[in-house]
Chains A and B, each alone.
Chain A
Amino acid sequence: MPKASPQTSRHALTARIGPVAVAILLVVLLVLPHYLDNYSLRLATTVFMYCVLAWSWNFIGGFVGYPSFGIAAFFGLGSYVGAIMLTQDMIPFWLSPACAAVVCLVVAALLGAPILRLRGHYFAVASLALGEVFRELAMNWTAVTGGGMGVNLPPLRSSLGTDSQVFYYMFLLLALVTFAVTVAVGRSRLGVAFRCIRQNEEAANMIGIDATRVKIIAFALSAAFPGAAGALYASWVGYIDPSDVFDIIISVKAPVMALLGGVGTVAGPAIGAFLYLAFEEIVWRNLLQFHAAVLGLIIVLLVLFLPNGFVDVTRRRKILDGAS
């Protein structure tokens, strides 16, 4: 009988501990709003939002390995869809993320076919340009979007709790859904197809994977959740404008968080989002004038010294420990 390697035994261990840890974390997160002040609630909500964005990016960028910088495009699109539907009083508040997600899913599926034929640098540029086009559309289509003036959203007035509590739970729910889909996809045939394409697209085609279709699914998934997050964000902050919700930095932050935590892993993007936002908050508080520069510095140092993320570092150490 082959001896179990340290890696497989570790896998067995995480398989047993993983669900328990997630359950404990979930209970803590559910009762937390009753003990936090508004400031901490806002921070926690932001963490959930970026967890959603980083996990979403992970579908196309991590699993399939296509360097997407298009998260802001769909975050912005979703926030405008949500904002416009709510100001027109077309739907109740809680339905706006779902509507935005569907719109983003469809738009991404339609745009995916031409864009996903591109690879590497060209795909990166195309995904980046998508956000710019959407932003300019929002800027110029004044009759619908309000142009550079932005959109003011109606206040929430929920009977379920304070606004910050409601948005905390909404973003938590969205993060859980994104997480669940990530786990489900990771274990399904679709996830196998994703990883095949990352390793070798020609070979994936050869063994009968319809690469174009699979890539479009990944791209649509990585658009739908940011769309929902955008719609929630719009109601949360109460006012959006094109330069805010289509900001390129959103498109860069999502992969940076995934890089920080570990690309292509299930937990990595969430860990990365948490660590990054912790850094960012400290920087914001202490270096207001230089916050962009310090965030730039964090990105530079991260890329130079931790290109595979924290998850990877610990894994390497574990393997080394096992070998010694």
Chain B
Amino acid sequence: MLFVQNVVNGLLLGGLYVCIAIGFSLIWGVLNIINFLHGSLIVLGSYIAYFAFVYFGLSPFIAPIFIMPLMFAFGYALQGSVLNVVIGKPVLITLTLTFGLDLILNNLMVWGFTANFRRVVFEHPLPTFEVHGIVIPGDRLMAMALAFLLTLIFFLLLNRSRIGRAIVAVRNDRDAAVLMGVNVKQIYAITFATGVAFAGAAGSLLSVVFPISPINSGVLLGKAFVICILGGLGSIGGAVIGGLALGIIESIGAMAAGPEYTVLISFIVLLAVLAIKPTGIAGKLGYE
């Protein structure tokens, strides 16, 4: 029973992990940039959700509706002003640049919000379900459901919209996309902004489950790395598999070895996957 409970916990967590990783995976896959800012962007989303909750009573479950456009604009500006310069440069340059940007953003958040942990506390939390002795907290279930909804929206965006198809086209063959009349620069900016918007949305959902602090950004970034490598870059399916797998690995690992070993286990899994099958469980070239 304990085992089943841990798997359920892992799946609940994994749903959120999927949401953490899709934006990161998109930016890596299309722009070929490892976005070191991702963790801090998620935390920024959490803070916006937190303040919206405290000052306007807005639920973090609804907040993504306005957080995403805000973060999209921020991401668009960031890509247009700074990141566009390094598109196509080696990873040494792009990773170092986003690391530097992360230092700036994180420092500003520590200064503005302090490093103290904050928490969204509902006056009326959703009820906790119990099915055959398995406990399912309503808030976590809601967060997971919304995370999957966001992932579905992300999927439809890439597959059904003109811009989404253009993003996939640029991902698969940049030069051919140019010949087809795609404005590649604009697509890069939109892609990055979309990744940032989903980071913000993930942050909003996370604020219900985890305490919020700028210190968390490194942990969240680490998770995004593990999920992307584990599931495989370049597909939403990969992020879904990687996210759920990490959730389950973490909760079962915590049960078997102790919660303090979860980070170690997940990074060893990451190295093992890189050593054995670098493309991950479901890795493929295009964003299908």
Q: Quote the shortest CB–CB distance from A205 to chain B (angstroms).
A: 19
Instruction: Fill in one digit per residue for B78-110: 1 if any A CB lies within 8 Å of its CB, else 0.
Output: 000010011001111101110111111011101
Contact call A139/B103, Cβ cutoff below 8 A:
no
Q: Which of B89, B92, B278 contacts A122 (CB 8 A)?
A: B278
Chain A residues whose CB sits within 8 angstroms of the CB of B229 once the complex forms: 122, 125
Residue from A125, A136, A252, A289 having most chain B Cβ neighbours under 10 A: A125
Interface-facing stretch out of B50-58, B64-72, B267-275: B267-275
Determine chain B's interface SS by DSSP, over half rule: helix
Contact call A296/B92, Cβ cutoff below 8 A:
no
Contact call A136/B263, Cβ cutoff below 8 A:
yes
Contact call B95/A124, Cβ cutoff below 8 A:
yes
Contact call A121/B89, Cβ cutoff below 8 A:
no
Q: Which of B91, B260, B268 contacts A124 (CB 8 A)?
A: B91
Contact call B104/A122, Cβ cutoff below 8 A:
no
Chain A residues whose CB sits within 8 angstroms of the CB of B99 once the complex forms: 248, 252, 296, 299
Interface-facing stretch out of A19-27, A91-99, A126-134, A266-274: A126-134
Chain A residues whose CB sits within 8 angstroms of the CB of B32 once the complex forms: 121
Contact call B101/A296, Cβ cutoff below 8 A:
yes
Question: Quick check: is B222 within 8 A (CB to CB) of the other chain?
Answer: yes
In the complex, the chain A residue whose C-beta lies closest to that of B34 is: A121
Interface-facing stretch out of A40-48, A112-120, A160-168: A112-120
A280 to B194, CA, bound (A): 35
Extra contacts, 11 of them, besides A140-B261, A296-B99 (Cβ < 8 A), are A121-B91, A122-B229, A125-B270, A129-B274, A136-B261, A136-B263, A139-B260, A259-B92, A296-B101, A299-B103, A307-B93
A296 to B82, CA, bound (A): 13
Chain A residues whose CB sits within 8 angstroms of the CB of B268 once the complex forms: 133
Chain A residues whose CB sits within 8 angstroms of the CB of B270 once the complex forms: 125, 129
Question: Quick check: is B264 within 8 A (CB to CB) of the other chain?
Answer: yes
Chain A residues whose CB sits within 8 angstroms of the CB of B274 once the complex forms: 114-115, 118, 122, 125-126, 129
Contact call B101/A292, Cβ cutoff below 8 A:
no
A115 to B271, CA, bound (A): 8
Contact call B92/A293, Cβ cutoff below 8 A:
no
Chain A residues whose CB sits within 8 angstroms of the CB of B17 once the complex forms: none
Contact call B82/A304, Cβ cutoff below 8 A:
yes
Chain B residues whose CB sits within 8 angstroms of the CB of A307 once the complex forms: 89, 93
Question: Quick check: is B148 within 8 A (CB to CB) of the other chain?
Answer: no
Q: Which of A258-279 contact B (CB under 8 A)?
A: 259
Contact call B107/A290, Cβ cutoff below 8 A:
yes
Q: Which of B90, B91, B104, B261 contacts A296 (CB 8 A)?
A: B104
In the complex, the chain A residue whose C-beta lies closest to that of B279 is: A122
Chain B residues whose CB sits within 8 angstroms of the CB of A121 once the complex forms: 28, 32, 34, 91
Question: Quick check: is A69 within 8 A (CB to CB) of the other chain?
Answer: yes
Chain B residues whose CB sits within 8 angstroms of the CB of A292 once the complex forms: 103-104, 106-107, 110
Known A121-B34, A129-B271, A289-B111; judge A303-B86 contact (CB<8 A): yes
Sample 22 A-B pairs with CB under 8 A, ordered by A number.
A67-B92, A69-B95, A115-B271, A117-B275, A125-B229, A126-B271, A126-B274, A136-B263, A140-B264, A252-B96, A289-B111, A291-B107, A292-B110, A293-B108, A295-B100, A296-B101, A299-B97, A299-B99, A299-B100, A303-B93, A303-B96, A307-B89
Interface size on B, residues (CB 8 A): 40
A212 to B267, CA, bound (A): 24
Contact call A296/B102, Cβ cutoff below 8 A:
yes
Chain A residues whose CB sits within 8 angstroms of the CB of B76 once the complex forms: none
Known A120-B90, A290-B107, A303-B86; judge A132-B222 contact (CB<8 A): yes
Residues of chain A having any CB pair with chain B under 8 Å? 61, 67, 69, 114-115, 117-118, 120-122, 124-126, 128-130, 132-133, 136-137, 139-140, 248, 252, 255-256, 259, 289-293, 295-300, 303-304, 307
Contact call B267/A129, Cβ cutoff below 8 A:
yes
Contact call B101/A300, Cβ cutoff below 8 A:
yes
Q: Quote the shortest CB–CB distance from A321 to chain B (angstroms).
A: 28
Q: Which of B153-198 contact A (CB under 8 A)?
A: none
The 4 closest A-B pairs by CB, nearest first: A296-B103, A299-B100, A293-B107, A136-B264
In the complex, the chain B residue whose C-beta lies closest to that of A141 is: B264
Chain A residues whose CB sits within 8 angstroms of the CB of B100 once the complex forms: 295-300, 303
Instruction: Fill in one digit per residue for B26-57: 1 if any A CB lies within 8 Å of its CB, else 0.
Output: 00100010100000000000000000000000
Contact call A67/B90, Cβ cutoff below 8 A:
yes
Contact call B103/A295, Cβ cutoff below 8 A:
yes
Q: Which of B117-158 contact A (CB under 8 A)?
A: none
Chain A residues whose CB sits within 8 angstroms of the CB of B82 once the complex forms: 300, 304
